[in-house]
Amino acid sequence: MHGVNVSQSSSSPADRRLSALVRHLEGSSMDSANHSIAAAPTSGSTGARISVFDHVVRAPEDPILGVTVAYNKDPSPAKLNLGVGAYRTEEGKPLVLNVVRRAEQMLVNDSSRVKEYLPIVGLADFNKLSAKLILGADSPAIQENRVTTVQCLSGTGSLRVGAEFLARHYHQHTIYIPLPTWGNHTKVFGLAGLSVKTYRYYDPATRGLNFEGLLEDLRSAPSGAIVLLHACAHNPTGVDPTTHQWEQIRQLMRSKALLPFFDSAYQGFASGNLDADAESVRMFVRDGGECLVAQSFAKNMGLYGERVGALSIVCRTADVAGRVESQLKLVIRPMYSNPPIHGASIVSTILKDRTMFQEWTIELKAMADRIISMRQQLFDALRGRGTPGDWSHIIKQIGMFTFTGLNSEQVAFMRNEYHIYMTSDGRISMAGLSSRTVPHLADAIHAAVTRVA
């Protein structure tokens, strides 16, 4: 098994979470091992005032969000931020969808709306419509009431609630995540008390999917293990299995009773088609088996700061779904009590109105098409410059991100010489590009490839 165990199981979920937290803190405390931690007065002491937190060391910047911090400090007018996972217009500006503005105005104009707490599980309409969006309105699981959906704090919160539930109520405490994956996955699952291992996914040689390695690692996984799957537009590689490959993955996972946990952050944002981007999830639901799905509306509705997401758990029976929901409430209540109302109200307003839904799909496809256009323009620019190497992976990959294949030295060179910012693994956000900035990026990549090993 090509796995890396980054957390260990303990006798109980609480113990596992505590152990994970201790290990997390130990990593920081080692740096300050030579500093004594004196008992510090909290008030009324004479002489030098010493904080009770003097032993706290400065944590490193988040590897993704830290890119923006560095970018903001750069005074160069030519600087370009390709690290952040947020859509930008051709002019490089954040976009609020017209349909979102219209829905928001409708909510503001409705004087009957109040600001009362939502139930623990969130806005009922939002939950129902979110499940239909990802599973399909004709999903047997929905028709048979075998799905429980709870509103969560975007995709991250949905993953964390699901992880906490599994740590308490699922017999296997090992989760396999693709290598590579979104940087936050390891922390989300590890701090929830799950043991995190990896399965092979990306092949640097082809800049595509290591499908045989993926199958081999999942075959070697213990029966019943949890497997994290990116529903579409894999982050950070932009490499997705084909429909035929998804079917092989499904058959293998069901044969070994592996539990699928889908992370769906880009439905409709990858191909421009909501149904096509949900097909991997629906494939697993159609066979009658169980699975978890974390949804985010950050990308496909541009609601990044509203933190709107949902966790759906597909169960064998309606009775089980009801009991699962009762336990999800016990996870959520001490975590954040209940979710915010505004963003979920925007989503439900759009999803339940046929005209607004249609308007959303048009705007969504326009965003997806612009990203696809940026891929083609960058590929053409590199080919036109005669940049060494095969860059066809740029147009073969899908979604917001491209895994360029650039190494950390080349990334540092581009930052220092061309003021282009990206994560050290060479991932770039295609949504941060424009027709104006493609030539600058192509020049930088050409220089990095030809001048830096």
At 84 the pLDDT is 80
Quickly tell me which residue has 């985010």 as its tokens: 296
What's the Cα-to-Cα distance from 135 to each of 64, 140, 262, 277, rounded to whole Å? Answer: 30, 9, 12, 11
Which residue(s) pair with 155 in the sheet? none
pLDDT per position as a tens digit, 117-131: 999 999 999 999 999
- Is residue 453 a contact partner of residue 106, using CB atoms and an 8 Å limit? no
pLDDT per position as a tens digit, 224-279: 999 999 999 999 999 999 999 999 999 999 999 999 999 999 999 999 999 999 99
pLDDT per position as a tens digit, 273-301: 999 999 999 999 999 999 999 999 999 99
CA distance 54 to 293: 42
Q: Edge-to-edge strands of the sheet including 147-153?
A: 147-153, 308-314, 291-296, 259-264, 226-230, 174-179, 195-200
Q: Is 125 a catalytic residue?
A: no
CA distance 128 to 277: 19
Q: Is 396 a catalytic residue?
A: no
Options 197, 217, 240, 263, the catalytic residue: 263
Cis? peptide before 180, omega within 30° of 0: yes
Q: Is residue 422's pLDDT more than 60? A: yes
Q: What integer is the mean pLDDT of 198-215?
A: 95
Options 182, 197, 240, 391, the catalytic residue: 182
Q: How many CA atoms lie within 13 A of 219 on its CB side?
A: 7
Closest CA to 253 of 227, 279, 286: 227
Task: Enter the tokens of residue 43.
Answer: 């008030």
- Other beta carbons within 10 angstroms of residue 423's beta carbon come to 20
User: Rg (Cα) of the chain, in Å, rounded?
Assistant: 23
DSSP secondary structure, 229-242, as one string: EESSS-TTT-----
What's the Cα-to-Cα distance from 150 to each of 44, 293, 401, rounded to whole Å? Answer: 48, 11, 28
Task: Enter the tokens of residue 311.
Answer: 């966790």
Torsion sign over Cα 181, 187, 190, 193:
negative
CA distance 322 to 51: 49
Task: Enter the tokens of residue 335.
Answer: 């975590």
The pLDDT mean for the chain works out to 91
Helices (H), 154-311: 154-169, 184-191, 211-220, 243-255, 274-277, 279-286
Q: Is 319 a catalytic residue?
A: no
- Let me know if 240 is exposed, middle or buried by CB neighbors in 10 A (0-12, 13-18, 19+): buried
* pLDDT-based confidence at residue 4 (cuts at 50, 70, 90): very low
At 365 the pLDDT is 96
Closest CA to 85 of 436, 365, 410, 423: 423
- Is residue 280 a contact partner of residue 262, using CB atoms and an 8 Å limit? yes
Residue 336 one-letter amino acid: Y
Options 217, 299, 360, 391, the catalytic residue: 299
